[in-house]
Structure 1
Amino acid sequence: MLRVLEINEPQDLSYVRCNWHRLWESTQGATFFQTIEWLQIYWKHFGEGKHLRVLLVLDGQQLVGVVPLVVIKEPTRLGKVRVLTYPLADWGTHFSVLAENPLQTLGRALQHIQDTPRNWDMIDLRWLAEEDLELNLTSDAMSEAGYNPSPGVWTETVFVDFEGTWDDYLRSRSPKLRSDIRRKLKKYDLTGRVHLERYRPKGKAANDCDPRWDLYEQATAIAEKSWQGHSTTGTTISHRPIRRYIKDCHIAATELGMLDLAMLYLDGNPIGFCYNYCSDGHVFGLRRGDSPEAREHGLGTVLTAALIRDSFERGDKTLDMGPGSFEAKRRWMTRIATVGRMTHYPMLAPRAQILRLKHWLQSCRDRKTGRLRTALEEKQSPA
């Protein structure tokens, strides 16, 4: 018989650190954002005004699943709405429970939510992978717990799948891009003026966890000189209000062996970077930037091409280039992936019901305009 223990204070997470790591390793596709280290860093910097609800699912005395949840207050035209969701906050694109049996774990955790006093207005489990949507994992778990799940699309993200060889990948690109890549890489490979340094430490357990602050500071300096230096969104690595968060994540990712930082040099000077996290060959592109000199020499293409070529050589599996800027990423991608959501709108919560109508109308507009024609929507469309 499964039982649930709930943790509401971040300092209490330390008691389950070892078991959390064990479950992380047994969870397929687990990312840096599902580590206990990242959750503690996130809560340290952004936890104010939120309510932590980490659900530990136990079989007897053994921890068999972890479901990290948070209650956040989101502003709407109707006022603030309390949303129970995962804590990812759009820092990544995918999130899930940690468990060998995710359906059973999530179902039991949601039953616990059902049985405890409600401190939320709606449940909105976001950042669901396509595999979750195809298997109805979250949907079935919510239904079994007594909720009425409404599927939706949170966003879309662009992937590069490292199948075959680098030459196979090149042949799949447009003739124009293929010619451009080959010409520029050949030119800079022959002259030696440009080279890519890619730093991917193995982690503290392997005694390989130098944070390489030189590369980090170079990336920050490039970001400040690019469009990111003028961004007001607060999500770029050079944005001062989040620098401490990014630095803490940098240290944690380095120690966990999940940092992937690529720097492109022209005549020994750093001109472009890709700041990533990686685990089990899956790379997530957090941020990238090019200096004015890189754009002047057309080296943005070289940076992306050199990174992808290097990943083929390393035997990586995927590169998640993230949502947005699809026109710039389209020529590189091998597929667009749905990032889903599963929402429960309580019948006795008027604000939640109004939001349900709003989300439904938005979905209709998206279909009408052809935006977000995703695998989820195609699956739901009649044949």
Structure 2
Amino acid sequence: MTVTVPASIGIIPEIVVEETDNPSGFEQLREPWDRLVEEAGGSIFQTWEWAFAAWKHFGRGSRLQILSAYRDGKLVGIAPLAAQAAGGRFVKLASLRFLSVASDTVDFLVARDLDAAVGEAFTRHLSRSKDWDVLHLDLVPTDSRATPAFLEAAARLGHKPFARQGPINLVIVLPGSLDEYFAGVGKKTRQEMRREHRRIMEVGTVDVCPPGDEVGGYLDILLHLHALRFARKGTPSLLADPSLSAFYRDVVRMLHSRGWVRLALLRIGEEPIAAHLSFWHRDRVYWHQCGFDPSSPWARHSPVRALLLDSLTRAIRAGMKEIAFGREGEAYKLDFAPQRRVTYHHLVVAGWPSTRLRLVLQATTQRVGRFARAILAGVKLTPFALWG
């Protein structure tokens, strides 16, 4: 399907939107998608490789719906979406959401200075198709340019946007030197980090998977150490999920071939005691997954923190601007004096009457279900409790 947004809408240039709903079309987008990531300053989570691996391993039961925006034949916007039926047993809602897995943030990918034009074009395309009821835009960063433009256009065209705060990500902003960085860290923490790093590196070595080498063996070690790390907590590793581990095998293999993966092992002798997966893309490092062997006598010297300090040192020397540290919630991350950055979950409800009717029916069936369960449980409910 192709929709053209004419230049007569204010000062918005003409944008043509095309829709891709099959894997072969997805693959054909790879080269222009790559160029757009560079031109738009996109993140590792907005790369073609990340979206393709997400679709391959988590797309079952969904319909591919990638929107591509073109201006004068050049790709200037991507909305990587997937559609699926959602809702209760009796009332189904057609739901659209970003195509992404294991991402810190997700967003539309739009060329600079074209956010309003592409946002308008995407909204008009979806308004003409009328094949969706709700659109979920999750994990949108606070500094997004494209999503606010899209939401503004959606509201103007009669759709209803809602928003709530999502997870908080941590970011280490990197200065020009390691001394400058340590000046911003507490004295006690600084001394402890340096002492532990020096002690463990006197006997250990950092082994990084070289470019061009097969990355699978290194990834196997990471998955094993990640499982050991969580077994210590009495919880299963998320990476033990077959679909998620298969996703990582694919995305790491593809990104490693681009030179964007740093998979490092901390070895004592020949034995790996800690592992760390990060992505080095443009001017940012993404600290992503790590693991260690809690049974090692060196575990008390914080081997993961030693790997992070090694990465931080190399990142500063390489002129990287920041380290994306992932979700807050792990105590060791706070030692590195990160900044907090909020994400948002946006929900857009379609403005057509059929959607409103389905939402009313869904709410009614949910309330009736709650009422029936309460009766079976012997709980007395008033009409206000049922419909309030």
Aligned with 2:176: secondary structure? coil
Q: Map 1:204-219 onto structure 2 (within 5 A).
A: 209-219=212-222
Paired residue secondary structure (2:103): coil
2:368 corresponds in structure 1 to none
C-alpha distance in 1, partners of 2:151/2:275?
39
Q: How far is 1:94 from its partner?
A: 3.3
Deviation at 1:111, TM superposition (A): 1.0
Match of 1:165 among 177, 182, 185: 177
Deviation at 1:136, TM superposition (A): 3.7
Residue aligning to 2:274: 272
Cα offset, 1:326, TM superposition: 4.3
Query: Is the 1:158–1:322 Cα contact (8 Å) retained in structure 2?
Result: yes
Q: Which amino acid aligns with 1:13?
A: F
Q: CA deviation at 1:324?
A: 4.0
CA contact (8 A) 2:104 2:327 kept: no
Q: In the alignment, which residue of structure 1 is the partner of 2:206? A: 196
Task: Give 3-state SS (helix, strand or coil) of 1:325's partner.
Answer: coil
Q: 1:96 aligns with which of 97, 103, 108?
A: 108
CA drift of 1:222 comes to: 1.6
- CA distance in 2 between counterparts of 1:183 and 1:354 reads 63
Aligned to 2:373: none
- Give the deviation of 1:58 after TM superposition: 2.1
Q: Distance in 2 between matches of 1:352 and 1:154?
A: 24
Q: Which residue number corresponds to residue 283 of structure 1?
A: 285
What TM-score results when the alignment is normalised by the length of structure 1? 0.79
Q: Give the 3-state SS of the residue equivalent to 2:219 in structure 1.
A: helix
SS of residue matched to 1:227 = helix
1:199-241 C-alpha deviation (Å, 9 max, x unpaired): 473xxxxxxx3233332222223223221696447x32x4444
Q: CA deviation at 1:352?
A: 5.4
Cα gap change, 1:309/1:6 in structure 2, threshold over 3 Å: closer, same or farther? same
Q: Which has the larger radius of gyration?
A: 2
What is the alpha-carbon distance in structure 1 between the residues aligned to residue 343 and residue 360 of structure 2?
23
Identity within the alignment, %: 19
Structure 1 letter corresponding to 2:195:
R
Secondary structure of 1:150's counterpart equals strand
Question: What CA distance in whole angstroms lies between the structure 1 residues aligned with 2:117 and 2:81?
Answer: 16
* Cα RMSD (Å): 3.0
Q: 3-state DSSP class of the match of 2:272? A: strand
Calculate the TM-score normalised by the size of structure 2: 0.78
SS at structure 1 position matched to 2:83: strand
Residue number in structure 2 paired with 1:106: 119
Checking the alignment, whether the CA contact within 8 Å between 2:277 and 2:288 is kept in structure 1 is yes
Instruction: Check 1:176–1:59 CA distance in 2 against 1; reply closer, same or farther (3 A cut).
Output: same
Query: Are 2:172 and 2:322, in contact at CA under 8 Å, matched by a contact in 1?
Result: yes
Matched residue count? 343
* Structure 1 residue 128, shift from structure 2 partner: 1.4
Pick one of 333, 336, 340 that aligns with 1:329.
Answer: 333
Q: Which runs of 5+ in 2 are unaligned?
A: 1-13, 364-388
Q: Provide structure 1 residue ranges, at least 5 long, that are not aligned to the other structure.
A: 202-208, 357-383
Aligned residues of 1:97 and 1:106 also touching (Cα < 8 A): no
| Aligned partner of residue 131 in structure 1, secondary structure | coil
CA contact (8 A) 1:50 1:72 kept: yes
